[in-house]
Structures are given as structure tokens and as C-alpha cells.
Amino acid sequence: MYSLSWQPPYDWSWMLGFLAARAVSGVETVAELYYQRSLAVAGHRGLVTVVVDPPRSTLHVELSQGLQPVAQACLEKVERLFDLRCEPQRIARTLGDLGAARPGLRLPGAMDLFEQGVRAILGQLISVAMAAKLTAKVAQRYGEPLAEAPGYVCFPGPERLVVADPDDLKALGMPRQRAGALIHLAQAALSGDFAPAAPADVERGVKHLQTFPGIGRWTASYFALRGWQAPDIFLADDYLIKQRFAGMTPAQIRRYAERWRPWRSYALLHIWYTEGWRPTDNRETASPRR
């Protein structure tokens, strides 16, 4: 058993609710103050079990025997998934009133960048629930069963999806073009064109992702938000964000969001999950900050 800590406040109800809505059947199980999933790291496979202990600001993490040789890497992945290194007081000072109602909101990360890339591609133009079901079909079709945990499969890595038949993927319920995008992502991961870690220049990395078939600006930015856990991403052309900023162009929205640098990813989450939020003024919509 391992222990990881965080700086309070932390809104665990929101975080686990977010992950539960996106949970991939056969890969993840999410319950109250509980998270479990299969994981493959450097050729080692097993089960990660996380129990949240809010009074002690501690996560109790159990790794099955197969993951013990890569325990440190697994713990780092858990830290990223749950944004445990976040310093909420620093973010609160920048967000001001925007973050006051939910000071414990964290940025959900990812335990595997390739997996998050697959999820981002599959989630395009469909609901969260439909995306989770489609991703589960891909995982069940191409993932390897985890012998020590019946019912679980390890999410398929690029070496499994690179040889997938596009028609087979299409039969799972996705357009053929999206199937091709998954295969290209797998090829890029194996060639090194899709980096296994966040780039030093996130903006440049987002632009590079947009050169991949089937990945537009929104998908690339959302991947940066979750996969790279980039703290300063703002999706000005997101459908819900445009609703929240009614009457403003994406360029005006981006200028307005400048006030929340370098924590615009957290601002984005607060706006997404604050029903009826509206900008309080338009003092930064006329011209860029100089």
C-alpha cells in the first residue's frame, strides 16, 4: 500500500463524478471515494486501486503484483490523473470570483497519453456517454485480458491498434475516417511523432497534433488539457464556451480569458461547470492586451 497526499481543498465528488461519466467498462471502475483500473507500464500489467481519505488529505494506492516493478511510474500516473500536485491557493488568487464557488476543482489528467489520444478522437461530435461506450468496444476488441483481474482488459497500446482493420473499427460504430485517425495515431506513437510526454512548447505541440488526420483544433486542445494536463489551455471555439460568452467572437473570448493566465485550463473548467455563468464585463474584448 502506498500513500499520496494533496493540498486541500479538493472536490472529490466532482472529480470522481467526472471520471465516472467517462469510465471505460472493462478498464475502469469508479465509485464513491474509490477508483480502480487496469494498467500496462513498460511491459508490466496489473491493477491499480485508489481509495480516497479526505480527512487525511491522502490517497491510499494499492498496486497488484504485476505492477510492483514499476511502482514509481504508476504512482506518478495516479498523481497526474488526480492533479495531486496542484496548488489551489495560487490558482485561486488568479481566478478570483470565478473560482470562489468551487475552490476544490482540479484538472483531470490521464494515466496514459496514447489512451487519452484515442479517447479524444473517439469522443468527437458524440455525447460523453456514447464516447465511453465506443471506447469500451475498442478496448474489449483489441485489449488484452488481465488474468489476475477477471473482467478487466488492458487498454490497447499503439502496437495493437496499428494493425487494426479500418473496416473492423468502423463496425464498432465509428466513421471510417475516424478509424483511420486512430490507426495514424498508433503509427505516430510507434514512430515517435506522437511524443510519450508533454512537449516543452504546448502551443507548438497543439499545432503539430492538428497535422494528424482527424484531429482538429478542438480535439488537439482538449488532448493537451487532459493528456498533457496543460494548465493554460482555453477552448474559445468550444460550443458551450461560445454559449457562455454569448455575442462574443472566439477572438474576443480569447482576449477576455487572458486575465486568467497562466491557469486558463482551470478557468475553463469552472466556466463549463458553473450553470448560467456569464462574463461580468467586456473591458478586454475590444483589443488585445499589450
CA dist 92 and 11 (Å) reads 14
CA 20 to chain centre: 13
For residue 128, give Cα distances in angstroms to 18, 82, 120: 10, 19, 11
Joined grid coordinates for residue 159: 502496437
259: left (phi over 0), alpha (psi -120 to 50) or beta: alpha
* N-terminal to C-terminal alpha carbon distance within the chain: 51
Q: Any catalytic annotation for residue 238?
A: yes
For residue 139, give Cα distances in angstroms to 86, 144, 153, 245: 30, 8, 7, 37
Which residue is catalytic, options 53, 167, 238, 281?
Answer: 238
User: What is the CB neighbour count within 10 angstroms for residue 99?
Assistant: 22
Joined grid coordinates for residue 217: 483544433
Asked if omega into 262 is within 30° of 0 (cis), the reply is: yes
CA dist 71 and 128 (Å) reads 31
Please give the positions annotated as active site.
Answer: 238
